[in-house]
Amino acid sequence: MKAVYFAWVRERIGATDEEIFPPETVRTVADLIGWLSAKGENYAYAFENAKTIRAAIDRTHVKHDAAIAGAREIAFFPPMTGG
Amino acid sequence: MGVDRRAHGFPSDARGGKPGTCNVRVQSEPFDVAVESAHLTAGRTDIGAIVTFTGLCRDEGGTLATLELEHYPGMAEEEISRVAQEALDRWPLMGLTAIHRYGKIAPGEPIVLVVTISAHRAAAFAAAEFLMDFLKTRAPFWKKERRVDGSSGDWVAARDDDDAAAERWSEG
């Protein structure tokens, strides 16, 4: 699946998007945040305060307990500041 | 004097008339409020109220050079459309327009526009406020500040009172 990052999550990770291949044990958004955080210091920094991170699966907002099975694109970003 | 409940912005099943037109755009270029208003009302004589809200870029006491608005292409349009559809379902609107810009925006320039039309003013006022409250908390946009002193500035932090403003629409 494709992971996409925005705003300071993107800056801290140092990438706009990437293909990721999490193991089957990674079942929810929260699991995926934990798995990504272990990939490196930049990821750990981006997700250090996991509760503030928002996620979207295939362009729809989801909560951290959402299942990621079947997702094509998962986005991580800070709380939105548009308007 | 009787009170016309239709004029109080309550949810209504009485849609009546033509289905509401819904224009949602995400763009880098500025927009013209007058042009957008005229477009929404063109050829119609059944509209009693038009409400426009324009959000502008502040200079933050002269310290802000530009705002850079990052967005999630695709989801931005889709999320604004979802919020717009909720407004159309909730109030007897005859139409609405929602435009949100991205990219570099200078102080004084417009960032966001909401236009709502209805037979009576209350629905148009309420729907415009609802749209703005949810655009701020659900549309995937992020503001980064560039300072006049050349420093890159920071990402604008989300405000708790914006969340509270959106929350109140789910009460009751």
Break chain A down into helix, strand, coil percent, rounded to 5: 30, 25, 45
Question: Per-domain residue ranges for chain B?
Answer: 19-149
Which is nearest to B42 in space by CA: B80, B87, B93, B95? B95
Question: Per-domain residue ranges for chain A?
Answer: 2-77
Kindly indicate whether the domain formed by A2-77 is annotated with CATH number 3.10.20.30: yes
Select from B26, B56, B75, B111 the residue whose CB has the most chain A CBs within 10 Å, as the one to mutate to test that interface: B75
Which is nearest to A36 in space by CA: A60, A64, A59? A64
Which is nearest to B119 in space by CA: B13, B44, B23, B36? B44
Strand stretches in B4-60, DSSP E: 21-27, 49-56
Question: What's the confidence (pLDDT) of residue A30?
Answer: 98
Note the pLDDT tens digit of each residue in B49-88: 999 999 999 998 999 999 999 999 999 999 999 999 999 9
**In the CATH scheme, what architecture does the domain B19-149 have?**
Alpha-Beta Complex (3.90)
* Rounded-to-integer distance, Cα A54 and Cα A77, Å: 5
Question: What's the confidence (pLDDT) of residue B170?
Answer: 83
Note the pLDDT tens digit of each residue in A45-54: 999 999 999 9
| Whole-structure pTM value | 0.89
Total CB pairs under 8 A between chain A and B: 72
Residues B75, A75: C-beta atoms closer than 8 Å: yes
Note the pLDDT tens digit of each residue in A2-31: 999 999 999 999 999 999 999 999 999 999
Please state, rounded to an integer, the average pLDDT across all residues of chain A: 97
Residue A27 in 3-state DSSP? coil
Question: What's the confidence (pLDDT) of residue B172?
Answer: 54
